[in-house]
Amino acid sequence: MRSIKAALDFGADALKHICDRPRFEARILLGASCGLNAIELATKEQAPIDEARFEAMIARRAQGEPIEYITGSVGFYSREFLCESGALIPRAETELLVDRVAAIAKRFDAPKIAEIGAGSGAIAVTLALELPKAEIVATDISAEAIIVAQKNAARFGVADRVKFAHANLLDNVNFEADITFSNPPYIRADYPLPKPVSFEPKVALIGGEKGTEILEAIIELKKPILVCECGYDQEAILREALRANGYKMVEFYKDYANLTRGFTAER
């Protein structure tokens, strides 16, 4: 049986071609495979490990599969959410979308919030936790994503305030929201996806031939307050779509790399 150190050496060597921090990722996968946290891995050198499971996880990661799908967990807004292959992996920059929705929601005593494209449910659940009086309805075109989202709502005890619906945009959803928000697919169809991203559901990534088609359809719903994530190069197209649909107060915001990442708009 390998020691923890030997297992980490094996994992780091196997992952050196696929990621920038192979030993760090090997440590995450080893911990996930045998139920040990970072401190236990460092202090329990002789702890038993599940070598077969660890090697299987390493093999998956070596093929480029995102580590979040392998471990079944993703960190978002300082919480750990369930992460399964049927739903998009939430990104750090999407926390900025949460910040903006939460800030606007504070205008309302008990805000009613609609999300288009729930994915794993991480955003809707986070908002429910940050806004205890909020009522949230979130839709997704993927039935698989809805299942993951419902699991996360139950995990964090907010299933009574976050309802998920299998729907395109807000079709057949009878809910008058104060705020509508979305992190929709916005990658153009011909964009070459990095290998890890190619493991994620295409329906959650590709926004059409231009990439802005779904965002434009959301804008055309003419909701009173709209907050959306978007691509760094889409501001001009979206600003015109917002103007054409009667939005008077429009502000685009930047991400951590100082690139355009989304907008808030009010009619």
Contact 149, 87 (CB under 8 A): yes
pLDDT at position 48 over 80: no
d(CA 114, CA 201): 22
Q: Phi and psi at residue 63, in whole multiples of 5°?
A: -85, 0
Domain ranges in the chain?
4-63, 88-266
Q: Place 13 in a pLDDT band, splitting at 50, 70 and 90.
A: very high
Chain-centroid distance, C-alpha 109: 27
Instruction: Judge residue 58's burial from the number of C-beta atoms within 10 Å of its C-beta, 0-12 exposed, 13-18 middle, 19 or more buried.
Output: buried
Task: List the one residue out of 133, 165, 149, 8 whose CA is nearest residue 83.
Answer: 149
Would you report the helix, strand and coil content of the chain in percent, each value rounded to 5?
A: 40, 20, 40
pLDDT tens profile 208-225: 999 999 999 999 999 999
Asked if the model's pLDDT at residue 47 lies above 90, the reply is no
Encode pLDDT of 63-78 as tens digits.
Answer: 999 999 999 999 999 9
Per-residue confidence (pLDDT) for residue 110, from 0 to 100:
97
pLDDT tens readout for residues 173-195: 999 999 999 999 999 999 999 88
**pTM exceeds 0.75:** yes
Assign domain 88-266 to its CATH architecture: 3-Layer(aba) Sandwich (3.40)
Is 239 or 34 the better-scoring residue by pLDDT? Answer: 239
Write the burial class of residue 140 (CB in 10 Å: 0-12 exposed, 13-18 middle, 19+ buried): buried
262 pLDDT tier (thresholds 50, 70, 90): very high
Confidence band, pLDDT 50/70/90 cuts, at residue 43: confident
**For position 49, what pLDDT does the model report?**
83
At 102-122, the pLDDT tens digits run: 999 999 999 999 999 999 999
Predicted confidence band of residue 168 (pLDDT cuts 50, 70, 90): very high
Check residue 238 and give its pLDDT: 98
What is the pLDDT, as a whole number, of residue 87? 95
* Per-residue pLDDT, 23: 95
